[in-house]
Structure 1
Amino acid sequence: STLLASSAESGVYKRQGALTPLGTVAVTPSPSFLVRHPARPVLYAVNELPEGKVSAFRVGPDGDLTPIGVRGTGGAEPCHLAVTSDGGHLVVANYGGGSVAVFPLDPEGVPGERTDLVAHSGHGPDPQRQEKAHCHMVSPAPDAGPLFAVDLGTDSVYRYDLDAASGRLVPRAPRVRTAAGAGPRHLTRHPDGRRCWLVGELDATVTAYELTGGGALHQRGRVDASARAGHVQPSEIAVGADGRFLYVGNRGIGTLSVFAVAGELPELVAEVETGGEWPRHFALTGEHLYVADERADMVRVFRVDANTGIPEPVGEPVAVSSPTCVRP
Structure 2
Amino acid sequence: MTPDGRFLFVSHGRPAITPEDTEPPGFVVVFAVGPTGTLSRVGEPVPVERGGLGMSVTPDGRHLYVACEALTSVSDRQLFGFSIGAHGSLTPVPGSPYSAPDVPIGTAITPDGRHLYVTSGGLNVNPGLATKVWGFTIAADGSLRPTPHAPFEAGRGPVGIALSADGRRAYVSTLRAELFTFAVETDGDLRRIHGPITTGGVRPLFQSVSVGRPARPAR
Q: Does TM, scored on the shorter chain, surpass 0.5?
A: yes
Is residue 2:14 matched to residue 1:42? no
Deviations 1:166-214 (A, max 9, x none): x3211223310122xx2111111111322121010x2011111112222
Count of aligned residue pairs for this structure pair: 189
Aligned residue for 1:107? 86
Query: Which amino acid is the alignment partner of residue 225 of structure 1?
Result: T
2:209 pairs, out of 224, 237, 256, with 237
Is residue 2:47 matched to residue 1:72? yes
1:118 pairs, out of 76, 98, 108, with 98
2:70 pairs, out of 90, 96, 102, with 96
Is residue 2:101 matched to residue 1:136? no
Aligned residue for 1:60? 34
Is residue 2:121 matched to residue 1:152? yes
Q: For 1:97 and 1:59, how far apart are their aligned partners in 2?
A: 33
Contact 2:80 2:92 in 1 (8 A): no
Runs (4+) of structure 1 exceeding 4 A deviation are none
Bigger relative contact order, structure 1 or 2 (CA pairs below 8 A, ≥6 apart): 2
Aligned residue for 1:198? 172
Q: Report the 3-state secondary structure (helix = DSSP H, G, I; strand = E; otherwise coil) of the residue aligned with 1:108.
A: coil
Query: Which amino acid is the alignment partner of residue 223 of structure 1?
Result: I
Give the TM-score of the pair, scaled to structure 2.
Answer: 0.79
**Greater Rg over alpha carbons, structure:** 1
Aligned residue for 1:265? none
Shift of 1:110: 2.1
Shift of 1:112: 2.2
CA distance 1:111–1:40, change in 2 (3 Å): farther
Contact 1:197 1:206 in 2 (8 A): yes
Residues 21-36 of structure 1 mapped to structure 2, 5 A cutoff:
36=1
Q: For 2:70 and 2:172, how far apart are their aligned partners in 1?
A: 20
Shift of 1:134: 0.3
Shift of 1:146: 1.7
Gaps of 5+ in 1: 1-35, 122-132, 244-285, 287-328
Query: Which amino acid is the alignment partner of residue 203 of structure 2?
Result: Q
Query: Which amino acid is the alignment partner of residue 86 of structure 1?
Result: D
Contact 1:145 1:214 in 2 (8 A): no
CA distance 1:138–1:214, change in 2 (3 Å): same
CA distance 1:214–1:52, change in 2 (3 Å): same
